[in-house]
């Protein structure tokens, strides 16, 4: 009984331990350090991407689209397929030549 009361007293004292917490002050250099960090990050970000203006971004996008359209057209064109099949037959890579190999 006495032991239980003792334990409960300890628990109450622990739960109230932080009621007497003193007020805290951050270090005097905190403000300057933080200001420096905030504005240094801003400068780094702006410096590294400042040359990539919206006009340049649009021009890059247009270039990428043009190159892609050109590439797709080349792949789809009959000339390209003809060139591939003649290349394949020259080096014996066409399906017809493979079939003849198995027939041997």
Partner 1 sequence: MTETDFIHQLKAQNRASYSKLLEDFQHKVYGTCLSFVPNREDAEDIAQEVFVEVFNSIDKFKQESKLSTWIYRITTNKCLEFIRKKNAKKRFAFLQSLSGNDYNLDKASYFTEINHPGLVLEQKETSEVLFLAINKLPEAQRIVFTLNKIDDKSYKEISEITNRSIGSIESLLFRAKKNLQKTLENFYKNQE
Q: Is 2 a residue that touches partner 1 (CB under 8 A)?
A: no
Q: DSSP 3-state assignment of 1?
A: coil
Applying CB under 8 A, among 1, 2, 24, 76 the residue interacting with partner 1 is 24
Residue in this structure with the two tokens 């009361």, named with its chain if needed: 5
Q: 25 to 54, contacts with partner 1 by CB under 8 A?
A: 25-27, 30-31, 33-35, 37-39, 41-42
Both ends of the chain: CA-CA distance in Å?
101
The CA-based dihedral angle spanning residues 36, 39, 41, 43, taken in that order and rounded to the nearest 10 degrees: -130
Applying CB under 8 A, among 3, 99, 101, 104 the residue interacting with partner 1 is 3
Q: DSSP 3-state assignment of 25?
A: coil
- The contact set with partner 1 (CB under 8 A) reads 3, 7, 10-11, 13-15, 17-18, 20-27, 30-31, 33-35, 37-39, 41-42
């Amino acid at each position: 009984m006495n032991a239980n009361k003792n334990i409960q007293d300890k628990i109450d004292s622990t739960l109230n331990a932080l009621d007497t917490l003193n007020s805290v002050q951050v270090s005097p250099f905190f403000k300057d350090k933080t200001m420096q960090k905030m504005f240094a990050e801003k400068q780094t970000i702006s410096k590294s991407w400042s040359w990539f203006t919206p006009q340049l971004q649009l021009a890059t996008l247009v270039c990428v689209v043009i190159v892609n359209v050109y590439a797709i057209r080349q792949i789809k064109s009959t000339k390209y397929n003809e060139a591939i099949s003649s290349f394949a037959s020259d080096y014996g890579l066409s399906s017809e030549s493979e079939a003849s190999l198995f027939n041997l």
